[in-house]
C-alpha cells in the first residue's frame, strides 16, 4: 500500500472556505501556480493588474491584519502601473515568457532602484542603491512585476527572521512560531500566497530553512550558477541567491530566468560559455526507480523525534518507488565544516565595500551601524564581533583551502557509493516559538562546499508543522537535482496551504463561524456558544450552567468525535457555573471542526460514568 506520509487537512468548517467569493473561483491567486496564472492571463480571465490587486488584498488581510505575518517590508508603489504596461504589451505583441505579468516578491537584500534596499535594518531604511541586482534585472526583463520587498533576519545574519526595521515575521502554519531565515519573509509570504513566487538568498540555509518551515521548495544553487551582484552580502564566498516556490515547476521557471554568467560576479565564471539552463525542460526526465540515495545517518539521528519520523516515512516511500537507500557518513565532516566557514572573515569587508559601491552616503560601513546602535538586539553579538574583528589572513586562506577539501571528501562519498543524492533533514528541529533560539541547522555541507542542495516538503509533524527533506548533489548538477525533486513531488505530494491564510471572500477573510450547544440533564442545563476564527486559528467558547442540579456537574469537556472519545479540551471544572476561553487549534481540532464532529461531554454525580453528550450545532 502506498504511504502518503503525514499530511493534515487544513480546511475549516465548510466548503465555503474553498469556494465562496471571487478569490475562491477560477481567478483565484490562492495556491495558484505560475503556469495556471499564465493560462488565466492568456485566456483573458484575468489581467496582470487584477493579479496585483488580489495579492495586495491578501497582503492587507493576512500580513497587515489577521495573523499579522509581518512578512512584507514595502509594497512597490509602481506595481499596478508596471502591471498595466505589461497588460498592454501582452495585448499588442504577446507575452515575453512564462513570467510575463506575474507578481513576484523580492527579499529586501536584493538591490532595487525604485525602492529602498534595507537588509531589514533601520540603518538603511531609506537607502536606494545606484544599481539593481542582476537577478532583479533579469526578472524585470522577463516581464515579472516586483510586487513587494520581504523581511529577513537583519543583514541575513540569522535564521529566525527578526529585524530592527520591521520586527518579527511569523510562520503561517503557526503564527506563534518563527518562519526560519534568513529569507523568512519570503518563505512566509510565498506560503501564504502573497505573491506567485519569491526571491531569497542562502549563505548558510537561508533559502532552505524557510522552505522547510513553510512547506516550500527551495534550491541553494551551485556556487556560481547565478549571480549575487547587487545582493547585500553576508559573505561573498558563501552567498547564493534564488527563488522559493510552492512547487518545482514554479521554481524551475524562475531558475531558468535568473541563472547564468554575469561579468559582475567572478564566481559565475563556472558557467561562462555554457548554454542557458533548462530547468523546466528537464523536469520530467528522471524516474525514481533505480536511483541511489545516501542517507546521512548522523544528521537523521540528531534530529528531534517529529522531524525524524517524517523523514523516515518519506524515505520508506522512496524505497517503495525503487530508490535504493544506503547509509553513509562524510568523514571528518564536523571538523571540516568548523574549519571552512568564512562569514566571520568576510562580512565586515564585504558590507563596507557594498555600501561604498552602491552609493550609501549616510551609512558608510558596519562601524556606523554598530556605533550608532542601528540594529536589532538579535544580531548584536554577530555585528559587534564583526565590527571589532581584524581579518587573520592566514586563517582566512586556510578556511578557503578547507572548503575545497570538504568538497573533495563529499564528492568521494558520492563516487564510492554511486549516489544520485545525499539525503538528510533540511533542519533537524521543528520551528521554535518566537523569542527562542532555533536549533538543528544542517546548512553547512552545501554552504561550505559550494554544492547544490534542494529542500523539499516531506510532510508534517503531529502538531501540524512542516518538515523539509534536503537533497545534496554534485557541482552544477542543479538541473538533474530539481528533476529528482520534481519526481518526488509528483508521487509524494506534501504541499498544504497554511491554515490562517485561506482564500478571500471578496477582498475579506472568511467570516467567523459559530455553533451552539445545549445539554440537558437531571436538574441542570448547560448552554454554550462556540466560535471558530479560521484566520486566527482559534476556538472561542462561552458556557453557562443553570438549574438546581448545576452544582452536581463536575466537568464539561470537548471531544472530537462521538462515542467514548477522550477529552481534547477541558471547558468547565468542578464548582464552576460558567466558563469562557480561547484555544489555538491543533490540526485534529481543526479537522473535527471542519467535519462538524465537535461534541461536549458532561460529567457529574447524578450522571452515568460515561457522562452525557451533545453536538456543537453550527448556527449558520
Q: In CATH, what number is assigned to the domain containing residue 317?
A: 3.90.1300.10
Q: Which band of pLDDT confidence, cut at 50, 70 and 90, is reported for residue 11?
A: very low
Mean local confidence (pLDDT), 360-384: 98
Residues 549 and 435 in one domain: no
Total tally of structural domains belonging to the chain: 2
Q: What does the alpha-carbon distance between residue 493 and residue 504 come to, in Å, rounded to a whole number?
A: 24
Question: What spatial distance separates the first Cα and last Cα of the chain, rounded to whole Å?
Answer: 40
Task: Indicate the pairing of strand 578-584 with strand 599-604.
Answer: unpaired
What pLDDT, in 10s, does the model give residues 391-400?
Answer: 999 999 999 9
Q: Which residue has the higher pLDDT, 273 or 10?
A: 273
295 is a catalytic site residue: no
What pLDDT, in 10s, does the model give residues 83-139?
Answer: 999 999 999 999 999 999 999 999 999 999 999 999 999 999 999 999 999 999 999
Residues 539 and 442 in one domain: no
Q: Residue 489, class by beta-carbon neighbours within 10 Å (0-12 exposed, 13-18 middle, 19+ buried)?
A: buried
User: Does the residue 3 lie in any domain?
Assistant: no
Q: What's the pLDDT score for residue 620? A: 61
Residues 305 and 415 in one domain: yes
Q: Give the range among 5-19, 357-371, 528-542 with minimum mean pLDDT.
A: 5-19
Residues 419 and 546 in one domain: no
Residues 66 and 159 in one domain: yes
Q: Which residue has the higher pLDDT, 16 or 498?
A: 498
What percent of the chain is modeled with pLDDT above 90?
A: 92
What pLDDT, in 10s, does the model give residues 478-498?
Answer: 999 999 999 999 999 999 999
Residue 214: is its pLDDT beyond 80? yes
Residue 218: is its pLDDT beyond 60? yes
User: Does the residue 11 lie in any domain?
Assistant: no
Q: What does the alpha-carbon distance between residue 542 and residue 140 come to, in Å, rounded to a whole number?
A: 53
User: Does the residue 373 lie in any domain?
Assistant: yes
Residue 16: is its pLDDT beyond 80? no
Q: What's the pLDDT score for residue 563? A: 74
Mean local confidence (pLDDT), 284-300: 98
Going by C-alpha positions, the residue among 142, 139, 100, 146 that lies closest to residue 241 is: 139
Q: Active-site residue among 163, 201, 206, 259?
A: 206
Q: What's the pLDDT score for residue 522? A: 86
Identify whether the C-beta of residue 62 lies closer than 8 Å to the C-beta of residue 509.
Answer: yes
Q: Give the range among 360-374, 443-457, 591-605 with minimum mean pLDDT.
A: 591-605
User: Does the residue 10 lie in any domain?
Assistant: no
Q: What does the alpha-carbon distance between residue 234 and residue 244 come to, in Å, rounded to a whole number?
A: 19
Q: Which band of pLDDT confidence, cut at 50, 70 and 90, is reported for residue 21?
A: very low
Which contacts (CB < 8 Å, 24+ apart) does range 78-81 have?
78/114, 79/52, 79/103, 79/145, 79/146, 79/147, 79/148, 80/49, 80/52, 80/53
Residues 167 and 307 in one domain: yes
Q: The domain that contains 605 carries what CATH number?
A: 2.60.40
Residue 381: which residues within 8 A CB-CB, separation 6 or more?
none
Q: Which band of pLDDT confidence, cut at 50, 70 and 90, is reported for residue 25?
A: very low
The mean of the pLDDT values for the chain is 94
3-class SS at 589? helix
What the block records as the C-alpha cell of 21 is 467569493
Q: What's the pLDDT score for residue 310? A: 98
Q: What does the alpha-carbon distance between residue 309 and residue 303 come to, in Å, rounded to a whole number?
A: 9
Q: What's the pLDDT score for residue 1? A: 31
Residue 384: is its pLDDT beyond 70? yes
Which one of 491, 525, 548 terminates a domain? 491
182 is a catalytic site residue: yes
Helix 48-58 with 79-93: angle, nearest 10 deg = 150
Residues 244 and 390 in one domain: yes
User: Does the residue 362 lie in any domain?
Assistant: yes
Residues 424 and 352 in one domain: yes
Residues 167 and 47 in one domain: yes
Boundaries of domain holding 567:
513-618
Residue with cell 535564521: 159
Task: Indicate the pairing of strand 197-202 with strand 103-107.
Answer: parallel
Q: Active-site residue among 48, 107, 340, 360?
A: 107
Residue 14: is its pLDDT beyond 70? no
Q: What's the pLDDT score for residue 564? A: 80
Three-point CA angle 287, 291, 296, nearest 5°? 135
What pLDDT, in 10s, does the model give residues 227-236?
Answer: 999 999 999 9
What pLDDT, in 10s, does the model give residues 554-567?
Answer: 999 999 987 788 99
3-class SS at 81? helix
Residues 122 and 249 in one domain: yes
Residues 212 and 271 in one domain: yes
Mean local confidence (pLDDT), 454-483: 98
Residue 618: is its pLDDT beyond 90? no
Q: What's the pLDDT score for residue 336? A: 98
Residues 356 and 431 in one domain: yes
Taken in order 370, 372, 375, 379, the sign of the CA dihedral is positive
107 is a catalytic site residue: yes
Q: What's the pLDDT score for residue 409? A: 98
Residue 591: which residues within 8 A CB-CB, separation 6 or more?
8, 9, 560
Q: Which band of pLDDT confidence, cut at 50, 70 and 90, is reported for residue 10?
A: very low
Q: What's the pLDDT score for residue 248? A: 99
Amino acid at each position: 500500500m502506498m504511504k502518503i506520509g503525514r499530511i493534515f487537512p487544513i480546511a475549516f468548517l465548510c466548503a465555503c472556505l474553498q469556494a465562496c467569493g471571487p478569490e475562491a473561483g477560477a481567478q483565484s491567486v490562492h495556491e495558484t501556480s505560475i503556469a495556471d496564472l499564465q493560462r488565466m492571463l492568456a485566456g483573458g480571465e484575468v489581467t496582470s493588474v487584477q493579479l496585483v490587486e488580489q495579492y495586495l488584498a491578501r497582503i492587507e488581510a493576512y500580513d497587515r491584519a489577521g495573523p499579522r505575518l509581518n512578512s512584507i517590508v514595502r509594497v512597490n508603489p509602481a506595481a499596478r502601473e508596471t502591471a498595466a504596461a505589461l497588460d498592454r504589451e501582452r495585448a499588442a505583441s504577446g507575452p515575453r515568457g512564462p513570467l510575463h505579468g506575474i507578481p513576484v516578491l523580492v527579499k529586501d537584500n536584493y538591490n532595487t532602484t525604485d525602492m529602498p534596499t534595507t537588509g531589514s535594518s533601520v540603518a538603511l531604511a531609506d537607502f536606494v542603491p545606484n544599481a539593481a541586482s542582476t537577478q532583479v534585472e533579469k526578472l524585470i526583463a522577463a516581464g515579472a512585476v516586483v510586487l513587494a520587498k520581504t523581511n529577513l533576519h537583519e543583514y541575513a545574519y540569522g535564521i529566525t527572521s527578526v529585524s530592527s526595521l520591521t520586527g518579527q515575521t511569523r510562520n503561517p502554519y503557526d503564527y506563534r512560531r518563527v518562519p526560519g531565515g534568513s529569507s523568512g519573509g519570503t518563505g512566509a509570504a510565498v506560503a501564504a500566497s502573497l505573491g506567485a513566487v519569491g526571491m531569497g538568498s542562502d549563505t548558510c540555509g537561508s533559502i532552505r530553512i524557510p522552505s522547510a518551515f513553510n512547506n516550500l521548495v527551495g534550491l541553494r544553487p551551485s556556487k556560481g550558477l547565478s549571480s549575487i551582484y547587487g545582493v547585500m552580502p553576508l559573505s561573498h564566498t558563501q552567498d547564493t541567491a534564488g527563488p522559493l516556490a510552492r512547487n518545482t515547476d514554479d521554481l524551475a521557471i524562475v531558475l531558468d530566468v535568473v541563472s547564468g554568467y554575469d561579468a559582475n560576479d567572478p564566481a559565475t565564471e563556472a558557467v561562462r560559455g555554457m548554454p542557458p539552463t533548462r530547468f523546466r525542460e528537464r523536469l520530467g526526465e528522471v524516474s525514481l526507480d533505480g536511483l541511489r540515495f545516501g542517507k546521512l545517518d548522523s544528521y537523521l539521528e540528531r534530529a528531534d523525534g517529529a522531524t525524524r519520523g517524517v523523514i523516515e516515512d518519506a524515505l520508506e516511500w522512496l524505497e517503495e518507488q525503487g530508490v535504493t537507500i544506503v547509509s553513509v557518513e562524510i568523514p571528518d565532516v564536523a571538523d571540516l565544516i568548523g574549519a571552512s566557514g568564512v562569514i566571520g572573515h568576510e562580512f565586515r569587508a564585504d558590507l563596507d565595500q557594498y555600501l561604498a559601491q552602491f552609493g550609501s552616503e549616510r551609512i558608510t560601513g558596519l562601524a556606523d551601524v554598530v556605533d550608532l546602535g542601528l540594529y536589532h538586539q538579535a544580531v548584536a553579538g554577530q555585528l559587534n564581533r564583526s565590527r571589532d574583528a581584524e581579518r587573520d589572513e592566514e586563517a582566512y586562506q586556510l578556511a578557503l583551502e578547507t572548503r575545497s577539501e570538504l568538497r573533495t571528501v563529499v564528492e568521494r562519498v558520492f563516487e564510492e557509493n554511486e549516489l544520485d543524492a545525499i539525503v538528510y533533514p533540511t533542519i533537524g528541529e521543528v520551528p521554535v516559538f518566537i523569542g527562542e533560539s532555533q536549533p538543528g541547522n544542517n546548512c553547512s555541507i552545501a554552504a561550505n562546499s559550494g554544492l547544490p542542495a534542494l529542500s523539499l516538503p516531506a510532510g508534517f509533524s503531529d502538531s501540524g508543522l512542516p518538515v523539509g527533506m534536503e537533497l545534496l548533489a554534485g557541482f552544477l548538477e542543479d538541473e538533474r537535482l530539481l528533476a529528482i525533486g520534481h519526481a518526488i513531488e509528483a508521487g509524494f505530494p506534501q504541499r498544504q496551504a497554511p491554515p490562517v491564510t485561506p482564500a478571500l471572500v471578496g477582498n475579506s477573510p472568511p467570516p467567523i463561524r459559530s455553533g451552539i450547544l445545549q445539554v440537558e440533564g437531571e436538574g441542570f442545563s448547560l448552554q454554550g456558544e462556540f466560535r471558530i476564527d479560521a484566520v486566527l486559528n482559534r476556538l472561542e467558547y462561552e458556557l453557562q450552567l443553570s438549574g438546581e442540579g448545576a452544582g452536581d456537574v463536575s466537568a464539561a469537556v470537548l471531544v472530537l468525535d462521538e462515542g467514548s472519545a477522550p477529552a481534547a479540551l477541558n471547558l468547565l471544572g468542578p464548582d464552576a457555573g460558567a466558563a469562557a476561553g480561547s484555544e489555538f487549534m491543533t490540526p485534529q481540532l481543526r479537522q473535527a471542526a471542519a467535519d462538524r464532529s465537535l461534541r461536549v461531554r458532561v460529567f457529574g454525580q447524578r450522571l452515568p460514568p460515561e457522562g452525557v453528550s451533545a453536538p456543537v450545532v453550527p448556527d449558520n
